[in-house]
Amino acid sequence: MHEYAVGRPLSINVKLSIKIINEFIVFICPNGDEFEIIFSTGVTKALERLSLPTIMPEVFLDSSLIYLFLHELAHLKAGHFEILGVDMTCEINEEDHKFGLVSRGQSESSPIPELANIDYLKLERCLELQADHAATEIFLET
């Protein structure tokens, strides 16, 4: 999908998996010597509900899935796993957290000593914005 989106192959091994789950869940995690990006079937259902009448549904769905894929890759490329001290990032849609807020397996503290006293929630949101920014730049280049 990365090569399709940006015209060049990835320098790391990434596997794309689909899980049959009704909730909106997208996450990236290490899986042996590669990384795995997992999309739930609830993602496409949610995106279909969001589709705008002025955009062809298949174009909206394809573009949205590519953007989500690029967003998850941006977490990996930017070293967010190391910064947060976690082994996965997860985009969720729960009743209290409409699309976009994040849930992560949290560590007791950041592995980076300089981040020990930083508000963890603010740090996560900053990293989300960084991943959004990187994904948007790549997405708009294509």
Does residue 109 register a pLDDT over 60?
Answer: no
Q: Are 89 and 27 in contact (CB under 8 A)?
A: yes
- Give the residue-averaged pLDDT of 3-13: 62
The neighbour count for residue 84, using CB atoms within 10 Å, is: 23
Tell me what pLDDT residue 19 has. 93
What DSSP string describes 62-109?
Answer: HHHHHHHHHHHHHHHHTTHHHHHT-S-EEEE-BTTB-TT-EE-PPPSS
- Name the residue with higher pLDDT: 122 or 92: 122
Nearest to 93 by CA among 24, 39, 1: 24
Domain limits, the chain? 2-141
Give residue-wise pLDDT tens across range 87-108. 656 665 554 444 443 444 545 5
pTM exceeds 0.75 for this model: no
d(Cα 118, Cα 115) in Å, to the nearest integer?
Answer: 5
Retrieve residue 88's tokens.
Answer: 């996965």
Bigger pLDDT: 53 vs 128: 128
Other C-beta atoms lying within 10 Å of the C-beta of residue 31: 14
The pLDDT value given to residue 129: 92
pLDDT tops 90 at residue 133:
yes
Q: What's the pLDDT tens digit per position in 14-67?
A: 889 999 999 988 888 888 888 889 999 999 988 888 877 777 878 888 999 999
- Bridge partners for 38 per DSSP: 17, 27
